[in-house]
Chains A and B, each alone.
Chain A
Amino acid sequence: AQKITQTQPGMFVQEKEAVTLDCTYDTSDQSYGLFWYKQPSSGEMIFLIYQGSYDEQNATEGRYSLNFQKARKSANLVISASQLGDSAMYFCAMREGVNNNDMRFGAGTRLTVKP
């Protein structure tokens, strides 16, 4: 069964506007972590933001924030004030288990920022 679902294969946003990238997840664990990565055309995966399942506040990192709705099992990424350099693939991922070696990724969303 799919553990991480990203329903938007592609998204467009106007420069300087905000955009939300959707991510839903499926787990029976009480303790888990949620991650977002950015993959520019160069190919390297860049870690953006993390949300722990017990964190009460939504994570923020600069222009990135994570809209965590635990009951809905969603962890949407919000990018504010989009820049042309934000154009990339974005992957949502979830880590389960007691060891730091079990990560599941979504299919990704390609974001294009228009000038």
Chain B
Amino acid sequence: DVKVTQSSRYLVKRTGEKVFLECVQDMDHENMFWYRQDPGLGLRLIYFSYDVKMKEKGDIPEGYSVSREKKERFSLILESASTNQTSMYLCASSSRRREGTDTQYFGPGTRLTVL
């Protein structure tokens, strides 16, 4: 059974704090993704990584950074959390090949509240 796990389901932080969101997958996938989900906006891509130590900006990278030191782990970092980063954060992974139904597999999400 495929598995993507995220370190926390719920997180409450204060403005200005440094925040780490961790994601681990056990499917040996090359690609990993971080999205944020807001009502009425769907999922928006923050960053993705297609290999260890490689990263690419998505649609909304401002205020975020990422780290991928190991293939199975992809971290999202909020250097100085702000209230407009209150959101649901979803991690996903996929294999590199683009074949048919090869989809992205998602973790359970982290609901982050910044006070």
Is B42 in contact with A47, judged by CB distance below 8 angstroms? Answer: no
Q: Does any Cβ of B come within 8 Å of A35's Cβ?
A: yes
Once the chains are docked, how many angstroms separate the CA of A107 from the CA of B45? Answer: 13
Is A43 in contact with B111, judged by CB distance below 8 angstroms? Answer: yes
Q: Known contacts A50-B103, A52-B100, A108-B42; decide if A101 and B50 are in contact (CB<8 Å).
A: yes
Task: Report which of B41, B50, B107 forms a contact with A99, defined as CB distance below 8 A.
Answer: B50
Is B101 in contact with A50, judged by CB distance below 8 angstroms? Answer: yes
How many whole Å from A67's CB to the nearest CB in chain B? 18
Interface size class of B (residues with CB under 8 A): 20 to 34
Once the chains are docked, how many angstroms separate the CA of A6 from the CA of B92? Answer: 22
Is A100 in contact with B40, judged by CB distance below 8 angstroms? Answer: no
Task: Report which of B45, B107, B111 forms a contact with A44, defined as CB distance below 8 A.
Answer: B107
* Chain A residues within an 8 Å CB radius of B43: 91, 93, 105
Once the chains are docked, how many angstroms separate the CA of A47 from the CA of B41? Answer: 19
Task: Report which of A44, A97, A99, A106 forms a contact with B42, defined as CB distance below 8 A.
Answer: A106
Is A42 in contact with B108, judged by CB distance below 8 angstroms? Answer: yes
Q: Does any Cβ of A come within 8 Å of B70's Cβ?
A: no
* Chain B residues within an 8 Å CB radius of A44: 106-109
* Chain B residues within an 8 Å CB radius of A11: none
Q: Known contacts A45-B90, A98-B98; decide if A103 and B104 are in contact (CB<8 Å).
A: yes
How many whole Å from A2's CB to the nearest CB in chain B? 10
Per-residue interface assignment for chain A, residues 84 to 115, with 1 indicating a CB less than 8 Å from any chain B CB and 0 otherwise:
00000001010101111101011110000000
Closest to A108 in B: B42
Q: Does any Cβ of B come within 8 Å of A4's Cβ?
A: yes
Residue in B48, B100, B101 with the greatest tally of chain A CB atoms within 10 Å? B101
Binding site for B on A (CB under 8 A): 4, 6, 9, 33, 35, 37, 42-47, 50, 52, 91, 93, 95, 97-101, 103, 105-108
